[in-house]
Amino acid sequence: MPTGAGSGVFMGVQAANRRRGGNSAKRGVSVFSIFPKLIIPMVIYAVIAFIGGADTVAARLADPLFEIGMMSGATWGLTPGDLILIVALFFLFIEIVKSSDTGTASIINHGMSMLVFVIGLVLFLLVGQFATSVFFLLTVMALLDTVAGFVVTIVAARRDLAVGGDA
């Protein structure tokens, strides 16, 4: 070949770099890309938990913020615990979408997500204010973020490596 590009792998790597917006070494690692977003609802929970005692946390999380009358005659209320879980689901979605990157920032993010899960598990098991269903579900979301992040990154890396191979 006159260009010196001896294989399809070289062309595939160039195409991947163009798709990502240039050379990955030039992009650097930003704080936004390595920061695990699921720590935000956990911090919100911690603020609510440490405002009062251990016995009032469950009651504070179950007290409705507002209620809406439904056409069936029943009323539906949104609690602070529900709101924290909605925010956590939104951040879990962002984390899973973000995990398709195979760069250094993604690996650091997965390690930080694992740290968030471990800290959440320790808090759930050892601190009375964190022994609620809401915090348990936050901890499960942190576990899912960690496992799904590693799995998605491995699959994406496999696909990137198989550009010129027989995968």
* 2 within some domain: no
CA pair distance 127, 13, nearest whole angstrom: 49
Global pTM? Answer: 0.74
Instruction: Tell me: pLDDT of 24 over 60.
Output: no
Tokens of 90: 């939104």
Domain count, the chain: 1
- Over residues 81-140, the pLDDT tens digits come to 999 999 999 999 998 888 777 677 888 888 899 999 999 999 999 998 899 999 999 999
Q: What DSSP string describes 14-51?
A: HHHHHHHTS-HHHH---HHHHS-TTHHHHHHHHHHHHH
What is the domain range of residue 58? 31-161
* 166 within some domain: no
If one compares 82 and 1, the residue with the highest pLDDT of the two is 82
* 121 within some domain: yes
